[in-house]
Every structure is written in C-alpha cells, then in structure tokens.
Amino acid sequence: MTGTYGSALAARKIVTDGKLTGEVRGEVEAEDDNVLVIKRIHVEMVLRAPAEKRETAERVLGIYANACPLYRTTRNCIELTSSLTFVPEENA
C-alpha cells in the first residue's frame, strides 16, 4: 500500500524518495475453532514534504487504495485502512 501511495504522489510531483514510510499494524482474532485470522490491517503513512503539498497528499490518501493490488486482493476479507501523518518541511 505504501508503494502504491508513493507512486500516486510521484505522479502528482510530490517527491517521496526517502521521505515516505509506512508503519503497518495488523489485528488478529481467533475464530470459532481457535485458529488465528488477520481481521484488520492499518497502514500509517508518514510523509515529509513541503507544506503546500499537504492538501494533495491528503486527497491522494483518500483515492489511492482502489489502484492498490494488495487492497483490491484482500478488501473483501480483511479490513484495510490507512492514515497520513504529514510532516511539513522547508523548501530547499
């Protein structure tokens, strides 16, 4: 998911090399027969970019998942969510 989000940002001229990371948290539950099953996955994106790119980065977060192979493959069996922590940086 991080790779697809990064590609979507790059298409909008937001540099992500070394500036985008993703922290993944999965939630597991035991089903009736005590088999552990992944039920939810959350990806926290952290992006360092110029402040004027925040609105675009937030908008892309809301639409990128439909182009993500992981999301499209698992969306009907695992709840997948993502969020963004935007860290403004000064223009170089």
pLDDT of residue 90: 78
pLDDT (tens digit, 9 = 90+) per residue, 8-53? 999 999 999 999 999 999 999 999 899 999 999 999 999 999 999 9
> Which run of H or E residues covers position 82?
strand 79-89
* Total structural domains within the chain: 1
Q: Give the three-state DSSP class for 42.
A: strand
Provide the strand spans (E) within 17-60. Answer: 20-30, 36-50
pLDDT at 91 over 90: no
Closest CA to 16 of 30, 24, 4: 4
Query: Domain span at residue 12?
Result: 2-89
This prediction's pTM: 0.85
pLDDT of residue 72: 92
Question: Is residue 59 very low, low, confident or very high in pLDDT (cuts 50, 70, 90)?
Answer: very high
Question: Is residue 78 very low, low, confident or very high in pLDDT (cuts 50, 70, 90)?
Answer: very high
Closest CA to 60 of 41, 78, 45, 42: 45
Longest dimension (CA), the chain: 57
CATH number at 27 reads 3.30.300.20
